[in-house]
Amino acid sequence: MSREYPARPIIGVIALVRRGERFLLVQRAKPPDIGKWGFPGGVQELGETVIEAAERELAEETGLRFAAPRVLTTLDVIHRDPAGDVRYHFTLVAVLGDWISGEPVAADDAAAVDWIDAAEAETGRLPVQPAVARLIRQALAV
């Protein structure tokens, strides 16, 4: 199925890796939101649980693993073109886990990596995707 102008929503995952009060972000190297910063993630593959998908995407994009991954929340990401047609529609499952060890390296779909806290997400130091600050605050509350 094409990711652009899909016939139905696409299930994806994002990996929220917590290191104290900071979270791992990647700069997107591919559309949508190319150049923006968000959590590592991607499309869930057939036969894969959301936890397995988050673990795989995190490893592919950063080389890291995380401990005790668990579902935090879900969100819809819908982008429309100027005519109002749905260009992208992802239903994302946010999986929260704790940093184990090592330093991330940008790979696969990531152009760069960085650790950021909620205040930094809100101040605009990095051009972050819209839900980043809200998800960080939600993760810190659990």
In the chain, pLDDT over 90 holds for what percent of residues? 83
CB burial of residue 76 (10 Å; 0-12, 13-18, 19+): exposed
The pTM of this model reads 0.92
Give residue 113's pLDDT band: very low, low, confident or very high (50, 70, 90). very high
Structurally, at CATH architecture level, domain 10-140 sits in: Alpha-Beta Complex (3.90)
- Calculate what percentage of the chain has a pLDDT beyond 70: 100
* Residue 43, pLDDT above cutoff 90: yes
- The residue among 64, 69, 49 whose CA lies nearest residue 107 is 64
Q: Band the pLDDT of 67: cuts 50, 70, 90.
A: very high
Q: What is the H or E stretch that residue 5 is in? A: none
* Residues 85-100, mean pLDDT to the nearest whole number: 96
| Amino acid in position 137 | R
**Is the predicted pLDDT of residue 110 greater than 90, yes or no?**
no
Q: Domain ranges in the chain?
A: 10-140
Tokens 């057939």 correspond to what residue? 46
Give the tokens for residue 103: 């330093």
Q: Where residue 126 falls among pLDDT bands split at 50, 70, 90?
A: confident
Q: What angle do CA 14, 130, 109 make, to 5 degrees?
A: 45
Length of the chain: 142
The arithmetic mean of pLDDT across residues 85-92, rounded, is 96
> Scanning the structure block, which residue is given the tokens 């260009």?
87
CB atoms within 10 A of CB 61: 25
> Mean pLDDT for the chain?
94
